[in-house]
């Protein structure tokens, strides 16, 4: 199995769905898992508990749609119960879900991110509505972007691009994701780089921590010190 990272999609085998259904705590949860298994919708890789991967277990999430109260279901399956891994769709695929005015402004921005070499994927409500065709979006839904960056220079360029967006609805949210899977919210990165905060929340597969200048200890973020 290739290395895991947060926001990665996972499709289960038939045995995997059996394991998932066995973890249902109530009828509503069981119906939601059953729907996912019948339609072969993916689950998402979440933060992994300490030692889970060494035990051959993987924590996955199932975010339910609006008509199922946006319930967040956490599941735990054997590693060999995963049939394949994938990624959320390119952000440009979500444009048809946006209001016309927002679409007109965001399409050039997404093209600019691609030109910078920092392409964006869409997750969150827009991503799940794209993947499932179910209703996730509501009036206050953010547009969550997963932006691939190689180093601090890429992160700075992508954050500056996002900060220049001329629309406030939907609000642009999301993370800058480095090649080693380390991630940080693009707004927090921009504030930290501008000196408005002393540290930045860094998210990893096995947890999160506030990091300060020179404290990352990661090749991908060394230039940020």
Listed by start position, the domains of the chain span 9-86, 91-224
What is the value of pTM for the model shown? 0.91
pLDDT in tens, 163-221: 988 777 799 999 999 998 899 999 999 999 999 999 999 999 998 989 886 544 444 44
Task: State yes or no: is 144 an active-site residue.
Answer: yes
Q: Which residue has the higher pLDDT, 42 or 222?
A: 42
C-alpha to C-alpha distance for 117 and 171, rounded to whole angstroms: 23
Secondary structure of residue 174 in the 3-state scheme: strand
Split at pLDDT 50, 70, 90, the class of 148 is very high
Marked catalytic residue, from 76, 142, 151, 173: 142
> Structure tokens of 126?
């827009």
Q: Given a cut of 90, is residue 223 above it in pLDDT?
A: no
- Contact status, residue 11 vs residue 86, Cβ threshold 8 Å: yes
* Run of H or E residues at 31: helix 27-39
- Residue 10 CA, chain-centre distance (Å), reads 13
Helices 27-39, 14-21: axis angle to 10 degrees equals 170
Strand-pair category, 72-78 with 57-63: antiparallel
């Amino acid at each position: 199995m290739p290395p895991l990272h947060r926001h990665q999609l996972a499709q289960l085998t038939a045995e995997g769905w059996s394991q998932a259904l066995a973890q249902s705590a109530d009828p509503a949860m069981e119906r939601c898992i059953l729907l996912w298994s019948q339609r072969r919708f993916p689950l998402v890789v979440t933060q992994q508990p300490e030692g889970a991967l060494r035990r051959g277990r993987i924590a996955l999430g199932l975010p339910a749609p609006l008509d199922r109260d946006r319930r967040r279901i956490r599941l735990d399956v054997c590693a060999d119960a995963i049939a394949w891994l994938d990624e959320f769709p390119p952000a440009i695929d979500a444009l048809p879900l946006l209001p016309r005015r927002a679409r007109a402004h965001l399409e050039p921005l997404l093209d600019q991110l691609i030109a910078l070499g920092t392409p964006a994927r869409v997750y969150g409500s827009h991503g799940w509505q794209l993947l499932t065709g179910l209703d996730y979006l509501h009036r206050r839904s953010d547009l969550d972007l997963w932006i691939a960056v190689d180093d601090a220079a890429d992160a700075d360029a992508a954050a500056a691009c996002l900060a220049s967006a001329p629309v406030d609805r939907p609000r642009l949210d999301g993370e800058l994701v480095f090649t080693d899977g380390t991630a940080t919210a693009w707004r927090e990165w921009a504030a930290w780089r501008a000196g408005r905060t002393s540290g930045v929340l860094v998210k990893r597969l096995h947890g999160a921590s506030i990091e300060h200048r020179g404290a990352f200890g990661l090749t991908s973020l060394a230039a940020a010190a």
